[in-house]
Amino acid sequence: MKAILCKQYGAPSVLHVGEVPKPAPKPNEILIRVRAAEATKADCEMRAFKFAVKWFWLPLRLAMGITKPRNPVLGGYFAGEVEALGEQVTNFSVGDQIFGSTQMRFGAYGQYVCLPASYTLVKKPNNISFEQAAAVPLGGLNALHFLSKANIKPGDKVLINGSGGSIGSFALQIAKHWGAHVTAVDIGFKENFIRSLGADEFIDYTRTDFTRNAISYDVIFDMVPNSSFEGCIASLVPNGVYLIGNPRLTDLLKANIKRYGKGRAVHVAFARETLEELTTLKNMIEAEAIMPAVDKVYRMGQAAEAHMRVETERRLGSVVIVIS
């Protein structure tokens, strides 16, 4: 089968299309024909082995490969069709159109991947394409996971820092769906796109530091690794909630103090990517309460271009690769 291969760490140019053996499902697995995969920031970080959050560098290097990737086929989030079933599988049928996560197995950059039927895999929403469905799991699961910890109520003032990316674009829509007044923070050229998702207010971070504008928020969801921890805490109302999507080691240490002045809370727990959460997202999409935002779609042979698009931070939503 064909796959986008990463046989060495480096720039996007290390990616190339090649042949690898087609996998066969074990008794508890399903064989999936991948139709589309999201090109994520995590894929780019794994390819280059350079991370915005550096504290887990050494254990991850030991796990993923010291001199080169142990698994040359990246890709953690995808949409596709069930092609074959292991003999123990009862929760899927051949021909099911599904979407979900490969977890730490990766492999979604290949034409086929085998995954345990117990993984976070759900039937694709019937009102979106494979390309759109591939753009859901990463951003949607992380956004839903974090926002669920804030107990958002109608009328709450929610600020999303980094609202133009995969996770931020879902967080914006989910917060609006729950009745929040949403302030979106990102670079200026993304304003029209972000407002089209429902943002009530927009702040261009190159012009205004939201931690210095004397406005307080009920919830701050922060996807930017170099944000000021103290500045964000000070920008919360009493009993406000600070959600950190890309925590530094210092953030993790500070978050162990459960509450900060006037009952403010901090959450840094990473998304568990559960079936229940993915099913919730599917139902929201089918009800048209939220929709995936796809920036650009690339072919397999354009994988390097897809990674460059992600790394330039010029994208409006998610970047997707069609696995053809």
The domain that holds 244 is classified in CATH as 3.40.50.720
119 pLDDT band, cuts 50/70/90, is very high
Is residue 88 domain-shared with residue 175, that is, in the same domain? no
Instruction: Give the helix/strand (H/E) hosting 309.
Output: helix 303-311
Of 241, 229, 220, 234, nearest to 159 by C-alpha is: 220
Is residue 180 domain-shared with residue 106, that is, in the same domain? no
Average pLDDT over residues 128-154: 97
Report yes or no on 199 lying in a domain.
Answer: yes
Is residue 181 domain-shared with residue 216, that is, in the same domain? yes
Is residue 152 domain-shared with residue 107, that is, in the same domain? no
pLDDT of residue 68: 77
Is residue 63 domain-shared with residue 178, that is, in the same domain? no
| Range(s) of the domain holding residue 238 | 138-267
pLDDT of residue 52: 62
Is residue 145 domain-shared with residue 130, that is, in the same domain? no
Is residue 252 domain-shared with residue 306, that is, in the same domain? no
> For residue 248, is pLDDT > 90?
no
Report yes or no on 287 lying in a domain.
Answer: no
Is residue 131 domain-shared with residue 149, that is, in the same domain? no
Per-residue model confidence as pLDDT tens digits over 32-58: 999 999 999 999 988 988 866 555 556
The answer to whether 97 and 81 are in contact (CB under 8 A) is: yes
Is residue 54 domain-shared with residue 94, that is, in the same domain? yes
Q: What is the CATH number of the domain that holds 52?
A: 3.90.180.10
DSSP string, 37-61: EEE-HHHHHHHHT--SS-TTHHHHH
The answer to whether 89 and 28 are in contact (CB under 8 A) is: yes
pLDDT of residue 272: 86
